[in-house]
Chain A
Amino acid sequence: MCLAVPAEITEIGENSRAQVSIAGTVREACLDLVPEAKVGDWVLLHAGFAIQVLDAEAAAETLELLREGGVLG
């Protein structure tokens, strides 16, 4: 029910409008729901809005856990 893709914020304009890049595809996105987002942040893009700022550290930790195997929590 939720197709959202990671996108990198490349520019922020007025009225919560930003430019984001999804692997080179560029589109306008609305940052109304993530007012704290900055240029360079990665966000989840859903239907033209950023719905969350992605946590790169958490992502890296998850991957490391998965790779290592062993006890997952």
Chain B
Amino acid sequence: MLEGTITLAHGGGGRLAQQLVREVFLPHFGNAELARLNDAAEVLVQSNRLAVSTDSFVVTPHRFPGGDIGSLAVYGTVNDLAMMGARPLCLTAGFIVEEGFELDALAQVAGSMAEAARRAQVPIVAGDTKVVEHGSGDGVFINTTGIGEVVLEPAPAGERAQPGDALVLSGRVGDHGMAVLMARNEFDFRADIVSDCAPLWELVEALAQAQVEVHALRDPTRGGLATVLNEIAGAAQVGMIVQEATVPVSEAVRGACDMLGLDPLYVANEGKLVACVPAQEAQRALRVLRQHELGREAAIIGRVTASGPPGRVILDTAVGGRRVLDLTSGEQLPRIC
């Protein structure tokens, strides 16, 4: 257990900064390239189809059931690469830490990142740390940038979704967002809800190895499933119909959402994907996903259509009704009305 807190000097580039790298980061991220501690990492890549993605992570609280800001920072970027059909090759990690943050807490974050990186089979090869004055941050912010090798040919893209495509969802929705909300403790509820935070490359790789044709791939993070469906429909200028009854939602998530007046279709996920595949591939895609531990609850939830105004997503409701599944403006807030 490390003692002490982060001070401005730790970001200063001098002895304390080096000590931070050696004592907090290297032990966890330890790999040969990082240990060289050069200004940049040298990475050997054979492919000429590379994908790059960057993302910053500011979630509070830092820890929540099923993960923390560290694992999120790794999986988030790995998954963005995976949605391009790219295998992750390496990650960088930039930290902005608030003065006064516990060293041990930072070590725990590094530990989570290391474990996530191992699970995702991606090394963290470069990093940076800056320290800001107390009050200027929220403990710690993390940026990760990932480089991947595009394996799927052609690469999935929103605009490639076509009328007739099946919408295949890899599992149940709403777990991550509700786990974080619960951890925030503002609304004081407890439930058997755990973030689904996980690396998605293996699922994508399984589809590729089975030679399933994948037109579009998205992970429904902020804004949830409804948002990414609208994004794909908008990019491809197609319509969509989704069957509400086929979208898996855990009972616990449903109960918590009902209580607070939230809609699970708009709640964030961090370990799910939705794929547009040709109709005749749908059953096969489903089987492939279900064979993987992250895809056990995969389901076909709807289809892409040519009808209606382009970009509009329709929901066939569980009770037999029909409505538009729109984009929300801003974050859902719990309501009493």
Contacts and interface: CB of A to CB of B under 8 A. Distances in A.
Interface of A: 1-3, 5, 7, 21-28, 45-47
B255 interface: yes
A22 B189 CA distance: 10
A26 B191 contact: yes
B259 A26 contact: no
B336 interface: yes
Nearest to B253: A25
B335 A3 contact: yes
A3 B337 contact: yes
Contacts of B191: 24-26
A57 B192 CA distance: 30
Interface of B: 188-193, 251-252, 254-256, 258-259, 261, 335-337
Per CB-CB distance, the 3 closest pairs between chain A and chain B, nearest first, are A23-B255, A25-B191, A25-B255
B259 A25 contact: yes
A27 B182 CA distance: 11
Given A2-B337, A5-B259, A23 B254 contact: yes
19 contacts: A1-B337, A2-B336, A3-B337, A5-B258, A5-B259, A7-B259, A22-B258, A22-B259, A23-B254, A23-B258, A24-B191, A24-B192, A24-B252, A25-B190, A25-B256, A26-B189, A27-B190, A46-B336, A47-B336
Most chain A beta-carbon contacts within 10 A, residue among B188, B192, B258: B258
A21 B190 CA distance: 9
A15 to B, nearest CB: 16
Contact of A25 (B252, B261, B337): B252
A25 B336 CA distance: 17
Nearest to A1: B337
A28 B192 CA distance: 16
Most chain B beta-carbon contacts within 10 A, residue among A23, A26, A28, A45: A23
